[in-house]
Structure 1
Amino acid sequence: MTVVEKVVPIIFRNFNQNIEILVFRHPIAGIQIVKGTVEANEKLEDAAIRELYEESGISSASIDSYLGLHHPSELKANWHVFVCHTTEDLKDSWVHSCNDDGGLEFNFFWHPLAEEPTDEWHQIFKELLEFIKSRY
């Protein structure tokens, strides 16, 4: 079986002395963190920046560091997690129209890293959040 290579570009911010991570509410599949598939002959870092732009609209991002390789329990995939940085002044929340599945609106917001995910989070993203917390 072929293992699919995925990238997870994450962005943190400090807000009121708390570290927060950028997440979004998918209209069908709950709260998630940006992730996407690496295209043929694409570098992981390039895929991370591309996916961040496609799913969030953030256009001026760069890679700060590689956080590690996560293996979600439900999927035969490698999720390469990158900490990214942007010079854009990101709002507390925004809506981005994404071309996924014929066009969806993703509602972005910041989740305090110290808080547990709610039941609205998709299970594989709850696992991803725990991975990120263990490495950050």
Structure 2
Amino acid sequence: MAVIEKVVPVIFRHVSQNIEILVFRHPIAGIQIVKGTVEANEKLEDAAIRELYEESGISSTNIHSYLGLHSLFESGPNWHVFVCYTTEILKDNWTHFCNDDGGLKFQFFWHPLAQEPTDEWHQLFKELLEFIKSRY
């Protein structure tokens, strides 16, 4: 059985002396970081760029670097984390309509990397944030 591969395209920004990471509020499942499934015969980098576009609407994206592989469970999917950058000027917050699960509105905003996640964060993404912080 093939292992399911996931990609996590991460965008950072520098504000004053702080580094912030792009996150979103899922209407049902708490605060998350963009993540998605790699399609058949799709390169990981292409999947990361596609998922970022589908979930956030950010279209002019490139891969900066590969942060590493985050494994949640021994038998679970592999999460490949990529640092991405865009030439778009991103707002402090915005809402994007994503077609996932019949259509959902994701509310995007920036989370200071040094700040601990709140209880509103989905547990899997709290763990992912710690992984990202340890590698960045």
TM-score > 0.5 by shorter chain? yes
- Aligned equivalent of 2:133: 133
TM-score by length of structure 1 reads 0.97
Measure how far apart 1:2 and its partner are. 4.0
Letter in 2 for 1:47: A
1:1-136 pair list within 5 angstroms: 2-73=2-73, 76-136=76-136
Give the number of aligned pairs. 136
3-state DSSP of counterpart to 2:79:
strand
Moved over 3 A (4+): none
TM-score by length of structure 2 reads 0.97
Give RMSD over aligned pairs: 1.2
Letter in 2 for 1:103: G
3-state DSSP of counterpart to 1:117:
coil
Deviates more, 1:14-23 or 1:71-80: 71-80
Structure 1 residues 66-89: Cα deviation after superposition (integer angstroms, max 9, x where no partner): 000001149701000000000000
Looking at structure 1, the residues matched to 126 and 113 of structure 2 have their Cα atoms a distance apart, in angstroms, of 12
